[in-house]
Amino acid sequence: MNKKLLFTLLQYAIFFGLAFALIVWQYQKLSPGDLAQIKEAFRQVQGRLWLLFPITIVGFLSHLFRALRWKLLLQPLHLRPSIFNITAAVLVGYLVNLLLPRMGEVARCTVLARYEKEPADKIIGTIVAERSFDLICLVLVAALAFAIQVDVVRDYAAGLYTQLSAKSGVLVTAGGVLVGLIAVLFIIYKKGKNSKIGGFIAGLGSGISAIWKMKSRALFLLYTLLIWACYLGLIYIGFFSLDATMGLGIKAALSVLVFGSLGMIVTPGGLGAYPIAVQEVLQQLYGVTAAMGLAFGWVSWLVQTLLLLVLGLLALLFLPIYNRRHEQAHRLDRK
């Protein structure tokens, strides 16, 4: 078997195996009373399906704002895709990430490059820049959540800090590997600027530097703020689906956003990890029972996942139709 294919299959097996192990581990901890509470929670959700309407709108807007922000990153590279194509590419990327971990970024680059007939290497570079900026934003959001709820999260954060401190060696090693990788790429680029790999690395570099060359930095920051506001809104609206979470406010939603985002990173699409992370923050910080916290985590994950599936499949369906008609209209105009 091809080594690359074997490595890919092993990677997927580890990701999904971890997700399955988390689900089994959490299920084994549930008592009959917990299961009864979870069933009751889902009955409450069934009676409030009208919440799907605002959730769908806010969820779609979060992807639209992300696409518009990505479009700004592409402008310094003289790439100007249509709003439809770049939004559809974002949606397809999220869809692929649900099935193939870490492949969503490659998928949305491929989609955009195919339908806009643009070089994929520069596009990939902008995604690296975007993801790096999102990581910074997550840190800032976490700092904000802590700052406005010091009395609530101080003790819990202290416990987490102690656990992370015990694993400082792992963090230092990861940082060293990252620095080493950057150094290797730089050496390869210096020795082979005119080679294919040199051109690829140059394309990555130009994409990453695009954020500094933008003329519309204020608009970029506005789109970023709107993206995170939509994420926050999704959780806040979701609180109204259960009696146990209905009384929680924006501050609680902010904490769930931070911990839930970390859960999304651990497993494919947050499968298994996201509900546990949400349960933890709701139980430890806001007094929601473990069962109801887990139920809300699963409800939130299921709604977000179903929304991505529907929007992603619609994007795949309409991409060829839109571009076929666009090309036909362009040919008619040229005549």
Question: Would you tell me how many other CB atoms lie within 10 Å of the CB of residue 94?
Answer: 22
C-beta separation of 58 from 310 below 8 A:
no
Q: Kindly indicate the confidence band of residue 53, based on its pLDDT and cuts at 50, 70 and 90.
A: very high
pLDDT at 242 over 90: yes
Domain edges within the chain = 51-329
Q: Which tens digit of pLDDT belongs to each residue from 125-136? A: 788 778 878 888
Measured between alpha carbons, how far is 112 from 127 in angstroms, rounded to an integer?
A: 12
C-beta separation of 268 from 16 below 8 A:
yes
Measured between alpha carbons, how far is 281 from 268 in angstroms, rounded to an integer?
A: 20
Rg (C-alpha) for the chain, rounded Å, is 22
- Model pTM? 0.80
Q: For residue 242, give the DSSP letter.
A: S
Write down the pLDDT at residue 4: 59
242 phi and psi angles, rounded to 5 deg: -130, 145
Question: Would you tell me how many other CB atoms lie within 10 Å of the CB of residue 91?
Answer: 26
Measured between alpha carbons, how far is 304 from 256 in angstroms, rounded to an integer?
A: 14
Measured between alpha carbons, how far is 208 from 32 in angstroms, rounded to an integer?
A: 52
Write down the pLDDT at residue 10: 65
The residues, any chain, with a CB within 8 Å of residue 297's CB and separated by 6 or more, are 260, 274, 275, 276, 277, 278, 279, 282
Q: Which tens digit of pLDDT belongs to each residue from 14-43? A: 666 767 777 777 777 778 887 898 899 989
Write down the pLDDT at residue 5: 58
C-beta separation of 82 from 70 below 8 A:
no
What percent of the chain clears pLDDT 90, i.e. is strictly above it? 32
**Residue 282 CB-half CA count within 13 A:** 32
Structure tokens at 70: 């990505």
Measured between alpha carbons, how far is 244 from 299 in angstroms, rounded to an integer?
A: 13
The residues, any chain, with a CB within 8 Å of residue 105's CB and separated by 6 or more, are 93, 124, 127, 131
Write down the pLDDT at residue 184: 64
More confident residue, 108 or 212: 108
Write down the pLDDT at residue 44: 93
Structure tokens at 232: 């926050």
Q: Which tens digit of pLDDT belongs to each residue from 145-171? A: 888 887 776 666 666 556 555 555 655
